[in-house]
Amino acid sequence: MIVADAPVSGDAVAAERWNVAERVAFRFCFLHLGLFCLGTQIATTPFSWLTWDVPDLAMLPPVRNIVAWVAAHVLHFEAPLVTTGSGSGDKAWDWTFLFCVFVFSIVATVVWSWLDRRRENYDTLFKWFRVAVRLLLAGQLVSYGFAKIFPNQMPYPSLYTLAEPFGNMSPMGVLWSSIGAAPHYEMFAGTAEAVAGILLLLPRTTLIGALLAAADMTQVFMLNMTYDVPVKILSFHLLLLAMFLIAPDVPRLARLFFTRRNVGPSREVPLFKTVRANRIAFGLQIAFALWVLGLNIAGGVSQWKQYGAGRPKSPLYGIWDVSVMKIDGVERAALATDSGRWKRIIFDYESLALVETETDERKFYRMKLDPDKKSIEIARNGGPQMAARFTYDRSAPDVLVLDGQIDKQPVRLELKREDDKKLSLVNRGFHWRQDYPFNR
């Protein structure tokens, strides 16, 4: 680490001989962690702009070609590899890339250990690699931290989610909704991640930042494992990066917690031989810290306004029960076996509508709503097109009538709005005093 306000010398710390295990372990960590960071979002996130993302290096030739070849000829994946647009970090592609990095790191470590077996230590390479790990890990922690502080990563459950039967939800959906329903906890968790990242951005607070990061990432990794969140690979490697930063201080921490021996300060290894050069390096790190913070604060505000609680809501926002549905002037009875009769329409996001049928099928539709013309155009979202056009009349806040066509058939829908404020998850709130637990 850097001491920016004290004279330092390149000879201030005497070189020590590392034992064989330390040298081999460092070579493997340097290769595996370094290659994983370079090939994933860990290296690119701090350099992405608000309006576009820098592609991960693993997605570019020749790495992309190597990973695809290994997936087809070594791991024998038959289905085409999904590379982008899925939102998952545990795709077959990601596991194949990790396999390639792991195998290459083992082979390269063996070769490197043989060719460089007479080297006594890697002090210089270690101190520079430590700086890179510190800053890259900080970038991820600050990014994920501010995504929760606003909060955007797990937004408050939408009307679509509030009307979803609990048993139909996936484990990940349960986790997202439960944390989203407690935004203050999400902000607390995000603050812990962001603080760990900020501490890592400052050279003098690396150890405490790494300890806090390890605690944060242990919780995140366990949540990902137990709720089947497809960010297992990334969260585990963020934990490994934190442990790599902690490793040099493990003996000191052991003495602190398990013995009565005094624990002196850690030795700060300067990056350069002169005070001036170290001060410049310190200034560059502060500039990087300000860039990361500014980028994530601006991005968090933008995401909150676009997707979070500050997003625009549909003019017809609400959960609407279909009391009457007429097709060609003939009323369609509400039968639990009728998959063609609509039971409920939910409007939340401006351009999205959810239709529930009497058989409890839930279908999302792309929607274009014009409040001036009082018209709605609906198309199937991600499947065969269902062309529907309606004009709407809202004679009262809780009454809505849609007149138009579905697949060229005349349709009239009369709807009544449910009061979503009556849902316990929405109206329960916080109570200091509870004579009996309210657990439903």
Q: Are 284 and 351 in the same domain?
A: no
Does pTM top 0.85 for this prediction? yes
Q: How many H-runs (helices) and E-runs (strands) does the chain carry?
A: 13, 9
Q: Are 256 and 161 in the same domain?
A: yes
For residues 216 and 196, the answer to whether their CB atoms sit within 8 Å is yes
Q: How far is CA 307 from CA 48, 108, 164, in A?
A: 19, 44, 20
Amino acid 400 reads L
Q: Are 418 and 270 in the same domain?
A: no
- How high is the pLDDT of residue 12? 44
In a domain, 14, yes or no: no
- How high is the pLDDT of residue 388? 87
- How high is the pLDDT of residue 13? 47
* Distance of alpha carbon 412 from alpha carbon 326, whole angstroms: 5
Q: Are 50 and 103 in the same domain?
A: yes
In a domain, 15, yes or no: no
* Distance of alpha carbon 93 from alpha carbon 75, whole angstroms: 11
Q: Are 285 and 374 in the same domain?
A: no
For residues 165 and 315, the answer to whether their CB atoms sit within 8 Å is no
Closest CA to 38 of 46, 317, 392: 46
- The residue assigned the tokens 């170290």 is 278
Q: Which residues pair with 375 in a beta bridge?
A: 370, 391
- How high is the pLDDT of residue 14? 53
In a domain, 113, yes or no: yes
For residues 412 and 419, the answer to whether their CB atoms sit within 8 Å is no
Q: Are 273 and 318 in the same domain?
A: no
Q: Are 301 and 354 in the same domain?
A: no
Closest CA to 198 of 237, 140, 246, 239: 140
* Distance of alpha carbon 307 from alpha carbon 322, whole angstroms: 28
Q: Are 299 and 318 in the same domain?
A: no
Total domain count, the chain: 2
Q: Are 77 and 145 in the same domain?
A: yes
In a domain, 378, yes or no: yes
Read off the CATH number of the domain in which 344 is found: 2.40.128.20
Q: Are 189 and 85 in the same domain?
A: yes
Q: Are 118 and 39 in the same domain?
A: yes
Q: What residues make up the domain containing 391?
A: 314-424
In a domain, 12, yes or no: no
For residues 184 and 191, the answer to whether their CB atoms sit within 8 Å is no
- How high is the pLDDT of residue 439? 86
Strands 388-396 vs 375-380: parallel, antiparallel or unpaired: antiparallel
In a domain, 10, yes or no: no
Residue that terminates a domain, selected from 306, 341, 369: 306
In a domain, 67, yes or no: yes
Q: Which residues pair with 32 in a beta bridge?
A: none
Q: Which residues pair with 313 in a beta bridge?
A: 349
Q: Are 290 and 323 in the same domain?
A: no
In a domain, 434, yes or no: no
Residue that terminates a domain, selected from 238, 272, 306: 306
The DSSP letter of residue 333 is P
Coil/strand/helix, residue 157: coil
pLDDT tens, per residue, the chain with 440 residues? 333 334 444 444 456 899 999 999 999 999 999 999 999 999 998 877 655 677 888 999 999 999 999 999 999 998 889 988 888 999 999 999 999 999 999 999 999 999 999 999 999 999 999 999 999 999 999 999 999 999 999 999 999 999 999 999 999 999 999 999 999 999 999 999 999 999 999 998 999 999 999 999 999 999 999 999 999 999 999 999 999 999 999 999 998 889 878 887 777 788 999 999 999 999 999 999 999 999 999 989 988 988 888 889 999 999 999 999 999 999 999 999 999 999 999 999 989 999 999 999 998 999 999 999 999 998 876 555 667 899 999 989 999 999 999 888 999 999 999 999 999 988 888 889 998 898 87
The DSSP letter of residue 116 is T
